[in-house]
Every structure is written in structure tokens, then in C-alpha cells.
Structure 1
């Protein structure tokens, strides 16, 4: 079983595509994924990019995924160190990288700059790896 860490943008893409995740894979994410995804969807509705009904459907899809959500002290400590090492202004993204180091085989991100920034810290994978 391959374990992948996904961020809110990946969760949103999976929901939009109504992707089917292979049973061979496990998805993990920091507990903050839920709040970040909710915020992204709220913002999209406010901008008029999607309807409330579509946002609710996306939330239901992600809630239906078997995502193991984690957020313990060790994760937070490692995230702090990563954010400091990379000079990031906050620890939010660092939690995803830390979780990848601690619990997963690879981090899936749609952000090419982020993938480049974490090269050497974690393995990254394309979203297609989940199929």
C-alpha cells in the first residue's frame, strides 16, 4: 500500500473530477485539510466560480474519501522546523511536508514551485498516481 499526502487543492481537483482512488493507496493529510478545503470552496462560491450546490457536492465527495487525518505534537514540531528551514511565513504547508516525512511515501501537490521547494525533503508524485 502506497501512502500519499494530499493538500486541499488536490482534494478539490479529485472532487471536481470525481476521481476514483485505487484501493492500493492510502491518503493521509493534516487535520487542517478540512478547514482549508472548506475555505477554498467558500471563496469559490463567493467569487461566483461555483454554486453552493457544487461546493456541497465537493465537500461530500472529500468527506467520503478514506483520508486519515493527523495532527499530533510530533507533526507540529517537524512542521515548525521545515517552515523555519525553508523560510516560509507560516507552518500550514509545512504540515503537509512534515506528514510526508513522518507517515507517507510521497506528497502530491499541483503547485510546481512547491514541489521544487520541497525537493530533497520529500518525494513528490503527480495526482495521477492515485488512480
Structure 2
């Protein structure tokens, strides 16, 4: 059984592909995932990179992904500590890393540079789609 922590970039990619986890695998994310997905898709619409109707449909597809959202005190405390240790100015990326440290086997992202120096295994959405 593998627990994958997904960030907004991965959630969008997996939702677009209609991803369903393999039996025994699970998807996890911090509670901020849905807000980041919404913000990312809004930016894409505003820049003309994505049609509004398609973005709204994709929000629904992300909502249907079987993701367990977590955001307890231990996660937040760990994110705070990791952000300090890694020299990051905020805790947004650190929440994904903290969740991976606490409960995940790998962090799935398509923006690996966001997690530079993080003490976790990184995978891409394409890696999950191939498995």
C-alpha cells in the first residue's frame, strides 16, 4: 500500500486524466489543496491558457478525486519547523512536505523546484498515471 501526497499541480493533472488509484494506494493532501487548485485554475483562465468552462469542469473533477485532506495541529507544527529548516519564507509548500514526512511515501508534483531541498521522495503525475 502506497500513500501519495499530491499537490495542486498533480491534482489537476490526475483529474484531467481521470486517474483512479490502484487498489491499496491512497491520495493525501493538506486542506489547502482545494484553494490552491482553485487559484491555479483561475490564473490559467485569466492568462488565457485555459477556457473558463474547461476550468470549472476540472474543478469538479479534482473534487471527485479520492483525496483524504488533512490539516491537524501536528501537520501545521511540522510544516512550520520544516519551512524554517529549509529556509522557505512561508509554509505553503512545507505543508505538502510535512504531510509526506508524517504519512506519505512520496510527494507527487509537476513543479519539483517548489520543493527544492525537501527530505522526501518526489514523483510526477505521469509516474502515477503509468503505474
TM-score by length of structure 2 reads: 0.90
Question: Take 1:112 and 1:92, find their aligned partners in 2: how far apart are those partners?
Answer: 14
The whole-number CA distance in structure 2 between the counterparts of 1:87 and 1:115 is: 11
Structure 2 matches for 1:19-98, cutoff 5 A? Answer: 19-98=19-98
**Structure 1 unaligned residues grouped into runs of 5+:** none
1:123 to 116, 121, 126: 121
Q: Which runs of 5+ in 2 are unaligned?
A: none
Between 104-113 and 46-55, the greater mean CA deviation after superposition: 104-113
**Greater shift in the superposed pair: 29-38 or 16-25:** 16-25
Contact 2:4 2:26 in 1 (8 A): yes
What is the alpha-carbon root mean square deviation over aligned residues? Answer: 1.5
Instruction: Report if aligned partners of 2:21, 2:27 keep a CA contact under 8 Å in 1.
Output: no
- Length, aligned pairs only: 129
